[in-house]
Amino acid sequence: MKVIIDYDRCEGHGLCAEQAPAVFGLDDDAELIYHFDGGEVPGDQVAAARAAIVSCPVAALRASS
């Protein structure tokens, strides 16, 4: 699974980083960091990544197969 991020929509709430800290983070300016940019989310992190996608209050994240 890959995650597609709409960085223009992201408001830096950080809920994704709380749900899946191995997949997402926030930098010092509250900008989203996606640790697997351009790659697949490891199998053991897929459930957490899906929870993070659902938790985004502005729908800035979506899954891609």
The boundaries of the domain holding residue 26 are 2-64
Decide: pTM greater than 0.75. yes
Q: Tell me: pLDDT of 46 over 90.
A: yes
Provide the domain count of the chain. 1
Q: Residue 47 is part of a domain; what is its CATH number?
A: 3.30.70.20
Residues in the chain: 65
Instruction: Return the structure tokens found at 51.
Output: 């929870």
pLDDT digits (tens, 9 = 90+) for 2-31: 999 999 999 999 999 999 999 999 999 999
